[in-house]
Amino acid sequence: MPSAEINKVREYWDRQGSADVRPSIEEMRLYDDYWATLTGEPGQVDYIDATVGGVPALWAIPKGAVWDRVIVCFHGGGYMMGSRYSHRKMYGHLAKAVGCRALLVDYRLTPEHAHPAQVDDAVASYRGLLEQGIRPAHIVFSGDSAGGGLAIGAQIRARHSGLPLPSGSMAMSAWTDMTLSGRSYDSNRSKDSVFRREMVGGLVHMLLGAEPDLQNPYVSPICADLRGLPPIYLQVGGDEGLLDDSVMFAERANAAGVDVKLDVFPDMLHSFQMAAGRAPEADDAVSRLGTWARPLLGLAPHR
């Protein structure tokens, strides 16, 4: 049975899904502050504002972190909300679990900045790290929701730009399919009151315009040529509308020869890892991410 602490995540989404009047973008961005309250402070993590590759960012640096390994983190929020501050605690927990620095990238948001601004910023921040001397084998991408799709799409864009790829990526509740073809939008409709085709479709048009290319590989990586991508670890909630974005992506990545791992967490909703530091289910998920990433980055297991 889900813990009382993880049910706070369900209450958060239900509150948004039950609103009688659709909130404005400005009002939705105020939810960033509430999102942050769902996450417990990781403790023993310093935060430093920075600019990397010309993109605003935030370093999350755990005490004793290995300095030359980096998790590049892309926050969720449908490309139109969220920030390095709303997600700093969640990625602070992840940085502690891995034992290295995390760079939270504050990419530009819609509707003020449509595609390709987001993937431009993602690749620019990665290029900035490489120019600082961080080896690609010492970098892992991570992201949640839209940021999870961006963590994968940015690798495809980086490859097309001639950049070396990072050692892997970790995606939580990744939005990978702009065609909205997942059957879980229907099968989980009664469980997920927010992530429904009509709502997500609005985000698609906000990002890509009135005549969108729904198979654009940078924002819809499920449609991309995935051959040659480094290992990918996907986590997704069993009750969320975007479940199939991870399940179908894992199937296609596996068929393309990618080393892909998929964990479906029963009874969980979208980006439930936001409850890290409070809910055992979220802490377990973050711990699994850390265990997966450490050997990929050449780090010994935690004792």
Q: How far is CA 12 from CA 114, 173, 177, 185, 269, in A?
A: 27, 16, 24, 19, 10
Hunting for tokens 């400005």 — which residue is that?
26
Please check the confidence at residue 265 and state whether its pLDDT lies above 80. Answer: yes
How does pLDDT run across 196-235, given as a tens digit for each residue? 999 999 999 999 988 889 999 999 999 999 999 999 999 9
Instruction: Count Cα neighbours of 173 within 13 Å in the Cβ-side half-sphere.
Output: 26
DSSP code of residue 299: -
pLDDT mean over 11-37: 78
> Which positions are catalytic?
145, 240
How far is the C-alpha of 44 from the C-alpha of 21, rounded, in Å?
41
Tell me the two tokens of residue 212.
Answer: 């969108």
Record the tokens describing residue 86, joined without a space: 């709303």
Confidence band of 21 (pLDDT split at 50, 70, 90): low
Is the pLDDT score of 302 beyond 80?
no
pLDDT at 15 over 90: no
**CATH superfamily of the domain spanning 7-295:** Alpha/Beta hydrolase fold, catalytic domain (3.40.50.1820)
Q: What tens digit of pLDDT does each residue of 75-100 get?
A: 999 999 999 999 999 999 999 999 99
